[in-house]
Structure 1
Amino acid sequence: MAYKDFMLDLESMGTDPKDALLSIGISPMNIEERTIGKGFYTRISLESCQELGMNINASTVIWWLEQSQEARDEFKGNYAHTPITTALAAVSEFISNQAGDTPQDQIRVWGNGSMMDNALLLAAYDMAGMSAPWTHRGDMCYRTLRALAPNVERVKPTIAHHALSDAEAQAKTLFAILDETGLTL
């Protein structure tokens, strides 16, 4: 099955483009059938992000220190995590493989906020001198859709602040919003 919709979640060291990425989680979605495919997850070396010129925000470091142990486990062994350029290449390969023959300008990547997940990932691609596997036409805002249906309860992730767990929960919430509102995409 080919997918054209992907729910993206990042864990990062800030909320601005050019802030370092900790992990990337992607859940391929079939919106019509309300199904989620096997996801993609990788943890990223902070050192490799800094070498690329990415920032680490001190207030975000403090915020991470206040999170659950499971969330803080994203940092364990960070020196051995995937270099950012390798992670970006893997994201591109994953989306391309999952999308099959879907044209690049029809691939839709859903991020939680118009200036958050997609913007940070696109900035990382730019800083690495690499092309993203989707075009500007495919930038979709899950947060905006969620705001249109405030009565729909959010699906809780199995592990909060784990990129793949968050992406899967957001995909399930997206399906519930579409069912509740009758919107079609």
Structure 2
Amino acid sequence: MRDVMIDLETLSTRPDAMIRSIGAVAFGPDGLGAELSIVIDPAGAVGHIDPETVAWWLGQSGVARHVLSAAYPGERVPLAHALQRFCWFLNDLNVPPAKVRVWGHGSSFDLPIIESAFRACGHPIPWNHSAARDTRTILELAEVKIATPEAAKHDALGDARAQALAVIEAARILGSHRLWPEAAV
């Protein structure tokens, strides 16, 4: 699988937003594959915090806010370590870096933010500049809506899964051979 859906939960909507969690899932015409979920330690985070975004988070469900709260019991890692883990995840897909395609829900959110984080931490961006894909475009063309279970809303991995499944459905409607010509036999 060479396609990877990335979803971020952040404390701003700017390209230099502080990332609080990263979710990623590999996917292809046969469904979902390897997954990654990382929560960022706020003490090891960098980036912009927007008071309006923080206020928006306060209005979300307790489940959505749980990962962002100080009471979160799971592992949290500094941003630089999270980005290294993300690179390992991509490497474990056994796809040449030039062949990986990364997807975000909208061309101006997830991918620009994570690319900014890679730069801020001194890491090279682990995909080719032409690898970026936008879910909103393909979903609009196919008239597909994302079906995120309520418990998974605003959870980076849950959102990444739902978005990837929607792209798979959109590709099926539009002719999956267009997105995955290697799968057409």
**TM-score of the superposed pair, with normalisation by structure 2:** 0.89
Number of the residue aligned with 1:155: 147
Alpha carbons of 1:160 and 1:135: their partners in 2 closer, same or farther (altered >3 Å)? Answer: same
Deviation at 1:30, TM superposition (A): 2.0
Number of the residue aligned with 1:45: 41
Tell whether the 8 Å contact from 2:28 to 2:168 is kept in structure 1 after alignment. Answer: no
User: For 1:106-160, what per-residue CA distance to the aligned partner results, in whole angstroms no more than 9, with x for missing partners?
Assistant: 100000111110110000000111012211111111111112123x232223410
Number of the residue aligned with 1:131: 124
Number of the residue aligned with 2:86: 91
* Letter of the 1:134 counterpart: W
Deviation at 1:49, TM superposition (A): 1.8
* Letter of the 1:116 counterpart: F
5+ unaligned residues in a row in structure 1: which ranges? none
Number of the residue aligned with 1:74: 67
CA–CA distance in 2 between the matches of 1:24 and 1:108? 17
CA–CA distance in 2 between the matches of 1:16 and 1:153? 25
* Letter of the 2:104 counterpart: G
Q: Cα RMSD over matched residues?
A: 1.6
- The partner residue of 2:26 within 15, 25, 28 is 28
CA–CA distance in 1 between the matches of 2:14 and 2:129? 18
Number of residue equivalences: 175
CA–CA distance in 2 between the matches of 1:89 and 1:153? 32
Deviation at 1:11, TM superposition (A): 0.4
* Letter of the 2:26 counterpart: P
Percent same amino acid among aligned pairs?
31
- The partner residue of 2:133 within 137, 140, 161 is 140
5+ unaligned residues in a row in structure 2: which ranges? 180-185
**TM-score of the superposed pair, with normalisation by structure 1:** 0.89
